[in-house]
């Protein structure tokens, strides 16, 4: 397109130049031919007057030629500026797109990999029962909730509530050994833990999943207990607080629950009829 315009401009300039040349060189011959045809001699005066007219016309054409050249040059300058502006805009757009792509790639590289759901122990405001391997008598996991065949000798009788508070105290002693804060007693958790121990004794089962209340988290919700993190330890057959806490501390999964930093509150339930123990933990 640009080449075609330049060719047209060149042709127009060529025609103007040719016209000027004809006027300057051929004018005399044309006038002489006209005079001879009329039978009149070409006088010097007439000749000079004709030449003056021709010179004036030639000058006017030169002025027009310069004006045309300036106009064409101005058009060419504007076209070049428009093309340069369009090229600069195109390059700027490419640079913006490259910068956006770079930032997106940098964000993807810096973003942490999402945790697999099956490996995540808890999420804020999402209820989980932890550790996940809390299944009694599961051969595929470490057995945290195993029955003790040989029951320790009971040295003295004490009320269930005394036993429960002793378990809380012993649990906090273990946490202090590891620089952790004490767990606070929560009355709703205490009630729920007692009901869980009683439920296991009454319905003759030993598992985290209750046929009456469902999962530990569902049972906490049933009792209106708020939490961000949730856990539970259970035991059967231990006849003293020292024995049951010692048993839990010797089991990796139960030990993790007792020493978990996120937990803030505890409830303990004991049913002496069958020596069923329940520890319920929540983090708030």
Query: Tokens for 85?
Result: 């502006």
Q: Which of 133, 117, 121, 124 is nearest to 227 (CA)?
A: 124
What pLDDT was estimated at residue 255?
94
Which residue is it, tokens 């956006």? 100
As averages over each run of 10 residues, the pLDDT of the chain (284 residues) reads: 59 63 51 49 52 66 82 89 90 88 78 40 33 33 42 53 94 95 94 94 93 91 90 93 94 94 95 92 93
Among residues 73, 65, 56, 64, the alpha carbon closest in space to that of 13 is found at 65
Q: What is the pLDDT of residue 129?
A: 36
Q: Residue 67 belongs to what H/E stretch? A: helix 44-110
Distance CA 95, CA 79 (A): 24
Q: Quick one: pLDDT at residue 66?
A: 83
pTM beyond 0.85: the answer is: no
């Amino acid at each position: 397109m640009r080449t075609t315009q330049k060719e047209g401009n060149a042709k127009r300039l060529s025609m103007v130049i040719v016209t000027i040349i004809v006027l300057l060189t051929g004018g005399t011959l044309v006038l002489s031919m006209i005079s001879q045809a009329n039978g009149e001699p070409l006088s010097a005066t007439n000749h000079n007057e004709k030449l003056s007219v021709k010179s004036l016309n030639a000058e006017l054409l030169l002025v027009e030629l310069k004006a045309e050249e300036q106009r064409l040059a101005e058009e060419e300058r504007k076209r070049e500026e428009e093309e340069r502006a369009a090229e600069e805009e195109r390059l700027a757009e490419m640079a913006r797109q490259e910068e956006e792509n770079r930032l997106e790639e940098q964000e993807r590289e810096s973003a942490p990999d999402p945790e697999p759901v099956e490996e995540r122990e808890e999420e804020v405001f999402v209820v989980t029962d932890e550790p996940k391997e809390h299944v009694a008598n599961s051969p595929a996991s470490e057995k945290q909730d195993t029955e003790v065949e040989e029951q320790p000798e009971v040295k003295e009788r004490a009320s269930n509530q005394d036993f429960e508070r002793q378990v809380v105290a012993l649990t906090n002693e273990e946490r202090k050994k590891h620089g952790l804060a004490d767990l606070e007693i929560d009355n709703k958790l205490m009630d729920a833990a007692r009901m869980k121990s009683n439920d296991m004794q009454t319905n003759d089962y030993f598992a985290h999943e209750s046929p009456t209340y469902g999962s530990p988290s569902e049972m906490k919700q049933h009792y209106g207990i708020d939490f961000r993190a949730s856990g539970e330890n259970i035991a059967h057959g231990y006849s003293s607080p020292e024995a049951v806490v010692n048993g839990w501390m010797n089991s990796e999964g139960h030990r993790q629950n007792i020493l978990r930093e996120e937990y803030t509150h505890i409830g303990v339930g004991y049913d002496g009829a069958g020596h069923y123990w329940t520890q319920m933990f929540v983090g708030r």
